[in-house]
Structure 1
Amino acid sequence: MLLPCHSLRLQALAVAATAVAVLAGIVVTAAPASGPVPGETLLDETDFPAFTVTGDTASCVAIEAISPSDPRILKITTTGVVSTFPKITATLRNTTPLARREIIHARFLMRTTDSARESGEGAAQFELEDSATFAISGQYSARAVGQWREFNIPLRLVRECPPGRAAINFRVGDRPQTIEIAGLRIIRPRPAVTDIASLPATPVQPGYEGSDPGASWRVAARERIERHRRSPLAITVVDATGAPVPGAQIHILQQRHAYRFGAAVRADFVAADTPRGARYRATISRHFNAVTFENDLKWERWLRNSATPLAAARWCRDNNIDLRGHTILWPTNTRLPDRFSDIANDPNALRAVIDAHITDIAGRTSPLVRVWDVVNEPFRNHDFMDLLGADSMAHWFRVARRAAPDARLYLNDYGIITGGGMDTTHQAYYERTVRELVAAKAPIDGLGFQAHFDRILTPPSRVLDILDRFSRLQREIELTEYSTQIEDPALAADYLRDMLTVFYSHPSTTGFILWSFVKNSGFRNTTWLQDSAGNRSSAGRVWHDLIYKQWWTDTRLVAAPDGTATIPAFHGRHAITVQAGSHETTVLADLAPGGTAVCITIPNTVVTAFLRSGKNESR
């Protein structure tokens, strides 16, 4: 279906003032790479009304400027998900053929005003097409969030294209979204260009600010880790009478972090009594001290099969793996189990069903689940609150607290730190919602930040600013779902290293959860730790280097003349082994913020022999 692009005469919305350059009345997030490309204009923003729509799940509106300082805008809205993406298209104005291998240049600005993506990004695939043969001469996947972002795209034609056949397309449609295009210029360079690299070009994966080894945020992060993640572990070695044992050999080896480092896993694999299940459980124990079940505790899955996640949860408890419950409620009709679809508009019936579900799942898992996402993604999913009232969310937290009095209760949402950290509308909603829950005395313990990064990687300094902002709400914070779509393995590893460092360094955070960790395991995540054969990726090596080497205590000491030894150690459980002569004693100690003192007693007969041997180095 071919539909015209509607035209409106509206004043453009104000844009955020945090940007650094102004182009034609539009504030953009980065200055242009260079000046305009000189040449023949083949298409520009005056052609917005000529754009047409192919597909019935998209629409476009050309918004005319009221004053010279206002931009013309092409507003493109996608309402559904389809396998064949709709396209917004317009024909170029060339009056002579575009030659084979001729180079043209496209430049436009784009921003997103609404997106169903968990990264908060809007997407459009820009392409040059021969409308008669459908030959594509070039494609570029453009991503943007709430701030205007500039794109420069040089394209080389694959074949000659006569006048009236060359067209540009914006393909959209993989998620509901609204994007806006401005500042469009399609230029045929004059003089002609033969070196495509000489034209301004926006990289597909641009990296991120603050990635250099000398970035200032790194020094501050290291200082915060030292200050907030380590405390004194004081050991005293004595004999049965309380006398010190100088020279005793002490080995402190960390067993477990206090901080939750985990991943989303499959409960059926965890619970499986098979060789594959055994390997899966061993991998979890080797990599993580926390997990979340990717889908098994969601409402519909729980009703179909609660036995498997309960069995997997018992294994987690027995093996000292913290379990994050995800999620009690996804408050939208599309996530309501099929058996309840007929009560979606009946407030009394829906309220009773929700309360029963919270009581059931939180109560039956109460001894097993340490943390619960009580409500998931309320910014976009709010059918239940629309029907039952804004105060219903606070009520759900209270019901969860009664059913699971020892679990930490979280509000989980996306768009807070992804997309360059520029989804200010989403951030404001999240903060306002948390404040309303606190004012209603809802028992909310924590804030869950999803982190499904797409093409736009948020600078570490910006993530720290956001953490500082939300830490003022005086609730703990966890990164609950980390994934990336970074095609460069080295860049994926670098960004994982920096996000781990940012979160571990911030005193308000308590955990970092990967969303899947095995390559090609279902959910698409380019930051996987290992493949199906167990081979570690670059990201996997980063994970282990930070968590089990750099942030891990493994130290040998000798007791001083007064029998003591003290070191700063990372918070968590430690095995302290004391050796005096041939005697060896090991005790476990949990190191908490502020420090822990441990006194280890050696039998008198061992101490006497040890001191007489002359092997106590401190004597």
Structure 2
Amino acid sequence: MGDETTAGDSSRQRSMLRRPFLGAVGACSGLGIASALGLSRTDSVRATQDDDEETDWEAEADERIEEHRTTDLEVRVVDRNGDPIDGADVDITMSEHEYGFGTAVNAGTLLEETEPGDEYHEHIPELFNKAVLENQHKWRFFEDDQDLADEATEWILEQDLELRGHTCLWASVDSAAVPEDVVSAMGREWDEGDVTDPEEDPDHVLERATEHLETIMEHYGDDITEWDVVNEAVNEPGFIRTIDGVNRGFEGPTLAEWYQRAAEIGDEYDVGVDVNDYNVLVGPNQGTREFYQDQIEFLREEGVDLDGIGLQCHFSEGNTLDSEQVMDGIDLYADYDADVRITEFDTEGGSWDDNEKADYLHMFLKTVFSHPATTDFVMWGFWDGRHWYDDAPLFYEDWEPKPGYDAYTNLVFDEWWTDEDGQTDSGVYETQAFHGEYELSASYEDESASTTTTITGEDETIELELDNEAGEDSIPGFGVGAALAGLAGLAGYAWLRDGDAETA
């Protein structure tokens, strides 16, 4: 039973204040947010699904969502004597999803190019409960400007968002993720970083990389929920090839040692260790999928218990999947006893229009959410003004919502959001609730009580006690309004009972 108190926790209050449009969404359940906001750039967000018939994939996904993402909730309202109160008003207000819905955040845009109170600052905590820094936790960026990384980290945590760590190590020289001295020690030329006369030095790469992995994980401690320890070990194996001299860098001994060390630090701070790579779901690219599974199995054989398996999911028109293919692809990674996370979703380029991209977002997000192995869905940016391909899922550069905005919010904050009220029947109010954080309240006459609770996979029974008495004239099965409406027909009810009737 939850504490009988008002919601006074500051982080919960921030969560409740994140999404001011939720009340309107709940009141207009079934209406698109786009129409409520007057979207004008496109005529219809779900142009290909205007009729009332769900496709087979969607009906199947909805069944899985009901099974894996909802819980039967029973709210019992009793008086100070523990007797049930019939007709008590009950309010169930969801404040946060258990599932992670996130976005990449650019530290420079956040702190140097925009201002507090503008759209970039406001939409991040309104639309998401999880974030990842696009660049500033990457090795070279972190060493070049740790203050910026720390300030962006602090801002995200102040918004009560979970924060992914991306990434301890990433051997992508062309993405400017590797310090110049390490690039040189890898034997690589890099004109942009003025590395023109490299000298290969595997020991230097090993020493610097190991030191940095330990430094950044210990620096942030439990501020981070999970780290991509070595990003793209399949597609960017440069560190391991330099140190171990092996072609299949995703199976190099040093990779296992780094993950073992990361797991030790992670255990100290209760931080997860993840793998993360691209072309491991999209496509489908069967060869890359097999290599990724080889990496996961190699690490497991080396005693590494992975906490998460990241699937990047940068989609273009030519590498999309249907719902069945998405399920089959996730199934490949579902039996490794680790959370499966969509870490870098977007839909960019090509000839498909924004309505088609929104439809794809709807299908992909619903399918992913329906798979019980997944725990997170993170976009790689949400606004065209700060996106690596200038083509983010939710907003145009002028901040007008895209069709994808409606597709996303209709699912996350409407279809999968529990916000309802009603009256107890014989002291009980029952409903089905999506997993997440809630404020529950009950009132009867002049008394009320409330509590906050987290609803997860098990059936939940919450009891709220009011400081009054149910009374002998409480009529099981009738709310207060119903009892009053039928009072004339029930005039003899109290007289027929033994003893005098009491007023609740």
**Band the TM-score falls in, shorter-chain normalisation:** 0.7 to 0.9
Contact 1:493-1:527 at 8 Å conserved across structures: no
Say how many residue pairs are matched: 406
Distance, in Å, in 1 between the alignment partners of 2:271 and 2:345 is: 22
Q: Does 1:374 align with 2:229?
A: yes
Q: Give the C-alpha shift of residue 296 in structure 1.
A: 1.0
1:512 counterpart (366, 377, 381): 377
Aligned position for 1:235: 75
Aligned-partner SS, 1:542: helix
Q: Does 1:324 align with 2:164?
A: yes
Q: Give the C-alpha shift of residue 211 in structure 1.
A: 12
Aligned position for 1:408: 272
Q: Give the C-alpha shift of residue 251 in structure 1.
A: 1.2
Distance, in Å, in 2 between the alignment partners of 1:311 and 1:479 is: 26
| Counterparts of residues 87-126 of structure 1 (less than 5 Å) | none
Structure 1: runs of 5 or more not aligned:
1-208
Aligned position for 1:603: 467
Aligned position for 1:349: 204
Q: Supply the AA of the counterpart residue of 2:182.
A: F
**RMSD between aligned alpha carbons?**
2.8
Aligned-partner SS, 1:471: coil
Distance 1:509 1:210, change over 3 A: farther
Distance, in Å, in 1 between the alignment partners of 2:445 and 2:229 is: 54
Q: Does 1:496 align with 2:361?
A: yes
- 1 or 2, which has the higher strand percentage? 1
Q: Give the C-alpha shift of residue 530 in structure 1.
A: 1.9
Aligned-partner SS, 2:425: coil
Contact 1:558-1:617 at 8 Å conserved across structures: no
Aligned-partner SS, 1:448: strand
Distance 1:597 1:391, change over 3 A: farther
Contact 2:447-2:468 at 8 Å conserved across structures: no
Q: Identity percentage over the alignment? A: 26
| Counterparts of residues 284-295 of structure 1 (less than 5 Å) | 284-295=124-135
Distance, in Å, in 1 between the alignment partners of 2:91 and 2:360 is: 34
1:430 counterpart (292, 298, 304): 292
Q: Give the C-alpha shift of residue 302 in structure 1.
A: 0.4
Distance, in Å, in 1 between the alignment partners of 2:210 and 2:448 is: 55
Q: Supply the AA of the counterpart residue of 2:306.
A: I
What CA deviation, in whole Å up to 9, does each residue of 1:120-157 have, x standing for no partner? xxxxxxxxxxxxxxxxxxxxxxxxxxxxxxxxxxxxxx
What CA deviation, in whole Å up to 9, does each residue of 1:374-401 have, x standing for no partner? 1211122112112333121222122222
Distance 1:365 1:430, change over 3 A: same
**Farther-moved stretch of structure 1 (264-273 vs 515-524):** 264-273
Contact 1:269-1:276 at 8 Å conserved across structures: no
Contact 1:559-1:618 at 8 Å conserved across structures: no
Aligned position for 2:325: 462
What CA deviation, in whole Å up to 9, does each residue of 1:533-558 have, x standing for no partner? 44211100111100000010012121
Distance 1:320 1:514, change over 3 A: same
Contact 1:233-1:596 at 8 Å conserved across structures: yes
**Farther-moved stretch of structure 1 (371-380 vs 278-287):** 278-287
What CA deviation, in whole Å up to 9, does each residue of 1:267-304 have, x standing for no partner? 24445697446543321111111111111111111001
Q: Supply the AA of the counterpart residue of 1:354.
A: A
Distance 1:274 1:387, change over 3 A: closer
Q: Give the C-alpha shift of residue 587 in structure 1.
A: 1.9
Contact 2:310-2:340 at 8 Å conserved across structures: yes
Aligned position for 1:313: 153
**Farther-moved stretch of structure 1 (240-249 vs 250-259):** 240-249
Contact 1:527-1:539 at 8 Å conserved across structures: no
Distance 1:316 1:369, change over 3 A: same
| Counterparts of residues 55-454 of structure 1 (less than 5 Å) | 214-271=54-111, 275-276=115-116, 279-332=119-172, 335-344=177-186, 345-389=200-244, 390-405=252-267, 406-419=270-283, 421=284, 423-454=285-316
Aligned position for 2:494: none
Distance, in Å, in 2 between the alignment partners of 1:273 and 1:241 is: 60
Q: Supply the AA of the counterpart residue of 1:479.
A: I
What CA deviation, in whole Å up to 9, does each residue of 1:480-499 have, x standing for no partner? 00111254011010000001
Give the number of the structure whose alpha-carbon radius of gyration is greater: 1
Q: Supply the AA of the counterpart residue of 1:451.
A: C
What CA deviation, in whole Å up to 9, does each residue of 1:251-274 have, x standing for no partner? 112111111111111224445697
Contact 2:354-2:404 at 8 Å conserved across structures: yes
Distance, in Å, in 1 between the alignment partners of 2:451 and 2:303 is: 42
Distance 1:271 1:432, change over 3 A: same
Aligned position for 1:59: none
1:543 counterpart (408, 413, 429): 408
